[in-house]
Amino acid sequence: MAQTIYLADDDRNIRELMRTFLTQAGYAIQAFPDGDSLVKACDQRMPDLVILDIMMPGTDGLSVCRHLREKSELLPIIIVSARDNPYDRVTGLSLGSDDYMIKPFLPLELVVRVKALLRRSGNAGEKENAEKLSFGTLCLSLRQRTAELNGQPLPLTPTEFDFLAYMLRHQDQAVSREEVLHELWKFDWEADTRAADDMLKRLRKKLKECGGGVRVETVWGFGFRLARED
């Protein structure tokens, strides 16, 4: 059965272009001219992935992103926007989007990122899904795609989950920002490491709010590594 994608963009041409390429890639697409109608559709049935423009009539894309993330930590969300502004990009990622694309973009690039995000959000192989990973009081179940810290549930977005899973598999070493981008997004972001940094800020806040015990340290000039808190 085809995976379902909801996309919202007030530009009809862009909306139809995305619909055409994603349909050709094998996805079931529902397209909306604004964020409010997309939210109503999500209230009836959640899709497998959401694509949002920022500037739309009614509720803007950033507000929709925040609303959807509050409803589901696991829903993959991609923001597409003509606003190539560091503040908008940081805000979008901080509110819980898993990716942020600047218009104009190649439709095939969108398809690649959609495939990568859906793969991360639940399409790993059977052997990988059977694994459990742990570090200190942090435990990840790859089959259920759930996380616990200090015995309590740790809510994670798909990107946050896969970042921690990757770090747990390499817990005896530091990993570079470029390595994280390549391994998680499966796409060349031309060394744009802000996405990893913004996601990490959000994740560190969650680890702290859940009682700590494990932290992600910055290895200055290189990347990240896991550490236990005393």
Domain count within the chain? 2
Q: Is the domain of 135 the same as that of 214?
A: yes
**12 and 104 share a domain?**
yes
**Sheet of strand 152-153, all strands in order from the earlier edge strand to the far edge:** 132-135, 138-141, 146-149, 152-153
On whether both 9 and 116 belong to a single domain, the answer is yes
Domain C-terminal end among 93, 120, 147:
120
**174 and 224, same domain (yes or no):** yes
109 with 200, same domain? no
Task: Give tens-digit pLDDT for 25-79.
Answer: 999 999 999 999 999 999 999 999 999 999 898 999 989 998 998 888 888 999 9
Same domain, 110 and 134: no
Same structural domain, 104 and 141: no
Q: Residue 218 has which token pair? A: 């910055």
For residue 186, the number of C-alpha atoms closer than 13 Å in the C-beta half-sphere is 14
Residue-wise over 151-165: b if at least 16 C-beta within 10 A, else e?
eeebebbbbbbbbbb
**Helix pair 194-209, 86-94: axis angle to 10 deg:** 40
Interval 82-141: pLDDT, tens: 877 666 677 777 777 888 888 888 888 899 889 888 877 764 433 444 478 899 899 998
Domain co-membership, 139 together with 92: no
What's the domain range around 28? 4-120
Q: pLDDT by residue (tens digit) across 145-188?
A: 889 998 888 988 888 888 899 899 888 888 887 777 777 765 55
